[in-house]
Amino acid sequence: MGKRGVDILGRIDWLTIILVLILMVCGWFSIVGSSSDVFGPSLFSFDTRPGKQLVWIGCAIVLGIVVISITRDFFSSYAYIIWGLMMVLLLATIFLAQEHKGSRSWLDIGPVSLQPAEFAKFATALALAKYVDRYSFNPQDMNDLAKAFGIFLLPMVLIVAQNETGSALVYVVFILVLYREGLTGTILFLGALAIVFFIVAIKYGQVPFGIQNFSVGTFVVLLIIQLLIPVMAWFVKRDSRFCIWQAVLQIVPLVMGLLVATLSIPFKVTVLQTVLIVTSCVWMIFKGLKDMTHRYFLVSAVGVLSIVYLFSVDYAFENILQDHQRTRINVILGLEDDPLKAGYNVNQSMIAIGSGGFAGKGFMKGTQTKLKYVPEQDTDFIFCTVGEEQGFLGSAFVLLLYISLVLRLLVLAERQPTVFGRVYGYSVLCILLFHVFVNIGMVLGILPVIGIPLPFFSYGGSSLWGFTILLSIFLRIDCERLADY
Amino acid sequence: MNIHKYDNRKYLIGAMAVLVAVVYLVRLFSIQLLDHGYKDAADSNALYHKTIYPMRGALMDRNGKLIVSNQPSYDIIVTMRSVHDLDTLAFCQSLGITKETFDSRMADVKNLRRNPGYSSWTRQVFMSQLSAADVSDLKQNLYMFDGFEIDNRTIRRYEYAAGAHMLGDLGEVSKADIEQDPYYSKGDFIGKQGVEKYYEKELRGSKGVEVLLRDAHGRIQGHYNDGELDVEAVAGKDLKLSVDIDLQMLGEKLMQNKIGSIVAIEPATGEILCMVSSPTYDPSLLTGRHRGENYTELAARSDKPLLNRPIQGTYPPGSTFKTSQALTFLQEGIIDQNTMFPCTNGFVFGRLKVGCHSHSSPLPLLPAIATSCNGYFCWGYYRMIGASKYGSPQAALTVWKDYMVDMGFGYALGVDLPGEARGMIPNADYYDRHYRRSWNGLTTISNAIGQGEVTLTPLQIANLGATIANRGFYIKPHVLRNVDDQHPDSIYLEKHYVGVDRKNYEIVVNGMRQAVLEGTCRVANNPDYMVCGKTGTAENRGKDHSVFMGFAPMDNPRIAISVYVENGGFGASYGVPIGALMMEQYIKGGLSEESMAAADEMSQRKIDYGKERR
């Protein structure tokens, strides 16, 4: 079957294209809504942000068409070269870029400035896809894994060196891509656990448990460990008798301890919890020795290490983190009400969104975003404009558009016959999901302020073009999926 | 390798996407539909509270002469979003600033750390407290500079370059001021010293506010709720001070090139007629845009021009204090008018000797006051502390201390100015601690002649003069004469009786009269009215301080005065002539030609203080 003869118009996934176009249009109207004093013809003038964005969108569409007409073989064959060139560009940017708001990530090319970091994503995705596609790739092999990690850790380091920590963080999602390809879930599981423990321990660390002299944070983290022990045991070996006994050991003494503590003699229930966990861990080791199932040791280790981690988090938070880092975390966890300092942006963005109500204030009528109470209101905080002017209806609609796009890409990625196509597809959808997760989470005051744009929505050419290329390559790969049969 | 081996994992990744959607939808639902706090916060963001500043009250002297009023000052306001095609060079030229100043001011305005409320949509202060001359060019060309406006505020205007310490100054409110009184907000001015601080509440009036509604473009759409929430500004009250500005100016002139104080009080009312602190400075230095640098410069000077010496300086009163001793001894029956004490060039008791100059000996009270005999008062004090009727030196000193306190010493008098010092009158506990209870009149003999532990403020010395002039009482000295023709505080009307009989005061008055006629104060004599006075030559580590305390006329006194010239030597060399000129100015309403020449000569006389920090 000749590759020149691919019927692009017939094979391309129009649903994805429509979803993206709707997002671009909504984004453009939000940019108009968040700028002011823009009426009539000036809306389309290159001097205004909406006018410029219109030009960027036009370019993006042309760029998309060009990319889609390039063959999959080209991307596959030149994947490493593209990645290599991009790394050189990222490195060069550190030295060539003018400092802009403290970061060195923008290159001035004639009238436009480009941010190479936005384009490094597709290059990295291509290289990773190519590498994992190798027949000999083994997700359990440390050597292979090290190289795969190197492909996305290098751009990450270079971008951190440009002082764009937010953009660099995106590259973490490639771990999720590798998970789909067989990377052990333990890494994912332990990472998630560490984050949950940290947040709970810090956020509720100062909240007393009723009249007891221990904190809710410590109690909850220990409770999570207690509940996880029988569950983890179940995953080790489906030994239901053993797991039930483990659960009984954890729950019954705890309930009795709580009753005693509240009704008669108050004592530190957390000490009881710790004792129970350690008991379980010891029992687990004996069980492991007896059954010759050494993965029980792992569960045991997770339990004990969790306790150590819990008691070191407080220490690390107070003694190792720097002041501004502590403040950032405290503000995000709602522990510090500080509307004029670190929390100012988040506070103002939540006021803007919250004031939108059910149906919003109407297009161009948002006072918060327009009076510039919200910073970066057409780039990183653009979701505020949607929230304020279009209300719950509009914001839910945009949010659902994104999730639909991600799920659609999941379907496309899963239908790829090649590992190359699938890995690349997962890279696209995971990057998108991460951007949406972090950006909207930040605007809603759930996540810390990490400055990354909302894909296809935020003002700016680099981000728009970067995502266009990223997605177009995948659409082209998807077009050619049947060519391999 | 089977590429479908991990296919189940797609569900986990899909589930993550769905989980994100669900969590965020719940969050959106709760902040947009359940919590109404955000809506209120947004409303208050969109309202613009424009402050209307009231006119601060003016200050007048006792004769109604205007001392302090207001003059317009100008703030330049910038709204960044409205700045278009700014001709920076022309702007800088019309304001008379350099491009560098312009750039650094613009950067400061935009700096969120220094200016946390910054928004390019709202009005920001670009430069403040400019004079009419500073902005006149800009005013004409303002139409050229979109986004810039000129706001009118007022700053203080001083009609006389005098009375800086008493009048005080205005400065921007501190964080602590705002926390203490919610009336204030950032950028407001508040009295920092003197009358401006003490009578801040009377002078400031109250701010007005216009609540204006802004649309999404930041344009003012008019008054919110038809101005229902608007509050009009109320101007501050004008204060009439008790000071005589001509007397004050003469005092400052006489004290030029010297360090010290002059305080004059109207005895019948306690009104302070002048309060000179030298060195002084032009009060207008602490207004306007150069306030900060001028303040720093004044604060760094070694002769401490910012110190308000009349109420913050504490000094040994020297021999002026002997009048208070005479009153105490007379009232306690330790001596009577005719009691004689010997003085053989001083008070000699065993190895202890308090020196004195030569005069006839023994002598009674009147000449002792007139010649300022140390020996006489040391004997009197020694006799009182040793008197058997008290039982112990401790009990005797306590009686003595009570007299001193009743005369207004040892505690702040309660003048209506901030920062008054209390001086020092030692009590029995003090000596018990220092001498392990073994002390007597001899140990503490310097109290008799206003030396040693005793210190007073110049205000307290003047108040002693006023008490003697009144023959037994004083009214708390104060600088406010009236507001709206009423004195605001009744504590400045009460008479404080010392508890010494009028006849004893008459004896001391006669002694002070004699001092002027034939004693240490002869320079102060004036044929037109009867002056009473007492010199002091206060011992000091360096050269002695020159002190004078007096009042005039002897009957129906109109002015009581204290003059304190640091390191001036004998009381007669600086204190008496300055005091005499001041009394003449006040009583005669001006100086004779001869006195005028004397005043000029006195203002030229310079005391060399060296470079030592004071």
- Whether A329 shows a pLDDT value over 70: the answer reads no
Question: Which of the 8 DSSP states describes residue A343?
Answer: T
**Does residue B309 have a pLDDT over 80?**
yes
> Which chain B residues touch A371 with a CB distance below 8 Å?
45-46, 119, 121-122, 214, 216, 218
Q: What angle do CA B491, B497, B501 make, to 5 degrees?
A: 165
Q: Give the mean pLDDT of B98-112.
A: 85
CATH topology of domain B245-604: Beta-lactamase (3.40.710)
Q: In chain A, where are the structural domains located?
A: 3-185+339-484, 207-328
- Residue B604, CA atoms < 13 Å, CB-side half-sphere: 6
B218/A446 Cβ within 8 A: no
Polymer length of chain A = 485
Q: Do B18 and A403 touch (CB under 8 A)?
A: yes
Kindly list the residues from chain B whose CB atom is less than 8 angstroms away from the CB atom of residue A355: 38-39, 41-43
What is the band of B589 on the pLDDT scale with cuts at 50, 70, 90? very high
Distance CA B90, CA B308 (A): 46
List of chain B residues whose C-beta atoms are within 8 Å of the C-beta of residue A440: 24
Measure A89 CA to nearest chain B CA, in Å: 32
Nearest to B28 among A36, A355, A392 (CB): A392
> Which residues lie across from B278 on neighbouring strands?
B260
What sign does the dihedral A385-A387-A393-A398 (CA atoms) show? positive
Q: Tell me if B42 and A368 make a contact (CB, 8 A cut-off).
A: yes
Residue B601 has pLDDT above 90, yes or no: yes
Q: Is the peptide bond before B310 cis (omega within 30 degrees of 0)?
A: no
- Name the residue of chain A whose CA is nearest to B48's CA: A371
pLDDT at A155 over 90: yes
Segment A105-114 mean pLDDT: 80
- How far does the CA of residue A371 sit from the closest CA of chain B (Å)? 6
C-alpha–C-alpha distance, residues A88 and A159, integer Å? 12
**Which positions in chain B touch A181 (Cβ < 8 Å)?**
6
For B359-375, how does the pLDDT look when each residue is reduced to its tens digit (9 = 90+)?
Answer: 888 899 999 999 989 99
Res A326 pLDDT > 90: no
Q: Which of A364, A399, A426 sits opposite B24 (nearest CB)?
A: A399
C-alpha span between B175 and B182 (Å, rounded): 11
pLDDT value for A1 = 37
- As given in the structure block, the two tokens for residue A131 are 């590498």
Distance from CA of B122 to the nearest CA of A (A): 8
pLDDT for the residue A37: 52
Give tens-digit pLDDT for A419-453: 999 999 999 999 999 999 989 998 898 877 777 89
Q: List phi, psi (to 5°) of A450.
A: -120, 120
pLDDT exceeds cutoff 70 at B112: no
Q: Which residue has the higher pLDDT, B81 or A459?
A: A459
| DSSP H helices in B96-180 | 99-110, 132-141, 164-167, 175-180
CA distance B247 to B558: 13
Residue B70 confidence (pLDDT): 92
Q: What pLDDT, on the 0 to 100 scale, is given for residue B613?
A: 53
Select from A37, A351, A403 the Cβ nearest to the Cβ of B41. A351
Mean pLDDT, all residues of chain A = 84
Instruction: Find which of B12, B22, B28 to mutate to test the A interface (most A CBs within 10 Å of its CB).
Output: B28
Higher pLDDT, A374 or A52: A52
Whole-model pTM over 0.95 = no
The tokens describing A354, both together, are 């919250």
Q: Return d(Cα B295, Cα B190) in angstroms, integer.
A: 16
**For chain A, first and last CA: distance in Å?**
9
Tell me how far apart the alpha carbons of residues B273 and B469 are, in angstroms, rounded to a whole number: 15
According to the model, what pLDDT value does residue A271 have?
A: 87
Residues facing B482 on adjacent strands: B240
Q: Which residues of A touch B21 (CB under 8 A)?
A: 399-400, 403
Cβ contacts of B45 on chain A, cutoff 8 Å: 351, 367-368, 371, 373
The pLDDT value recorded for residue A196 is 78
What CA–CA distance (Å, rounded) separates B345 from B357?
Answer: 6
Q: Which residues of A touch B214 (CB under 8 A)?
A: 367, 371
pLDDT at B117: 61
Q: What homologous superfamily is domain B49-241 in, according to CATH?
A: Penicillin-binding protein 2a (Domain 2) (3.90.1310.10)
Nearest to A180 among B6, B27, B37 (CB): B6
Say if the Cβ atoms of B24 and A366 lie within 8 Å: no
Nearest to A387 among B32, B122, B218 (CB): B32
Model pLDDT for residues B529-567, shown as the tens digit of each residue: 999 999 999 888 888 999 999 999 999 999 999 999 999
Closest partner CB to A370 (pick from B23, B31, B217)? B217
What is the reported pLDDT for B42?
76
At residue A327, the pLDDT reads 67
Helix, strand, or coil here: B103?
helix
DSSP summary character for residue B214:
E
- Residues of chain A contacting residue B42, judged by C-beta atoms under 8 Å apart: 351-352, 354-355, 367-368, 388
pLDDT tens-digit readout, A257-300: 888 888 888 788 888 899 999 999 998 888 888 888 888 888 88
pLDDT for A262 = 81
pLDDT at A396 over 80: yes
Q: Among B2, B20, B111, B186, which would you mutate to test the A interface (most chain A Cβ atoms within 10 Å of its Cβ)?
A: B20
pLDDT band at A341 (very low <50, low <70, confident <90, very high): very low
pLDDT band of residue B1 (cuts 50, 70, 90) is: very low
Q: Which helix (H) or strand (E) holds A332?
A: helix A323-332
Neighbours of A272 (CB within 10 A): 18
pLDDT tops 70 at residue B210? yes
Closest by Cβ to B24, choosing from A358, A429, A444: A444
Query: How many A/B residue pairs have CB atoms within 8 Å?
Result: 135
pLDDT recorded at residue A446:
80
Q: What is the CA radius of gyration of chain B?
A: 33
CA distance A148 to A133: 11
Q: How near does any CA of chain B get to the CA of A356, in Å?
A: 6
Residue B132 pLDDT more than 70? Answer: yes
What pLDDT shows up at residue A218?
A: 82
pLDDT of residue B52: 85
**How many angstroms separate the Cα of A332 from the Cα of each of A293, A313, A451, B221, B426?**
42, 17, 14, 36, 61
Q: Which residues of chain A lie closer than 8 angstroms to B216, CB-CB? A: 36, 364-367, 370-371
Quickly state the pLDDT bin for A332 (edges 50, 70, 90).
low
Question: Do B593 and B584 meet the contact criterion of CB atoms below 8 Å apart?
Answer: no
Cβ atoms < 10 Å from Cβ of A158: 24
Partners of residue A444 in chain B, C-beta under 8 Å: 24, 27-28, 31
Return d(Cα B156, Cα B172) in angstroms, integer: 13
CB contact under 8 A, B38 and A354: yes
CB contact under 8 A, A352 and B14: no
Q: Residues of chain B whose C-beta is under 8 A from some C-beta in A? A: 1, 3, 5-7, 9-10, 12-14, 16-18, 20-21, 23-25, 27-29, 31-33, 35, 37-39, 41-43, 45-46, 81, 116-117, 119-122, 214-218
Q: Is the pLDDT of residue B224 over 90?
A: no
Dist. CA A289–CA A284, nearest whole Å:
9
Task: Give the start-to-end residue ranges of the domains of chain B.
Answer: 9-35, 49-241, 245-604
**To the nearest whole number, what is the mean pLDDT of chain B?**
89
Question: DSSP readout, B56-69?
Answer: PPPEE-TTS-EEEE
Calpha distance B358→A77 (Å, rounded): 120
For residue range A358-380, list pLDDT tens digits in order: 988 888 777 777 666 676 778 88
User: Scanning every residue of chain B, which has its alpha carbon at the shortest distance from the alpha carbon of A439?
Assistant: B24
Q: A38 vs B479, which has greater pLDDT?
A: B479
Cα dist from B344 to A43, B348, B356, B537, whole Å: 105, 8, 8, 19
> What is the CB-side half-sphere exposure of residue A426 using CA atoms within 13 A?
27
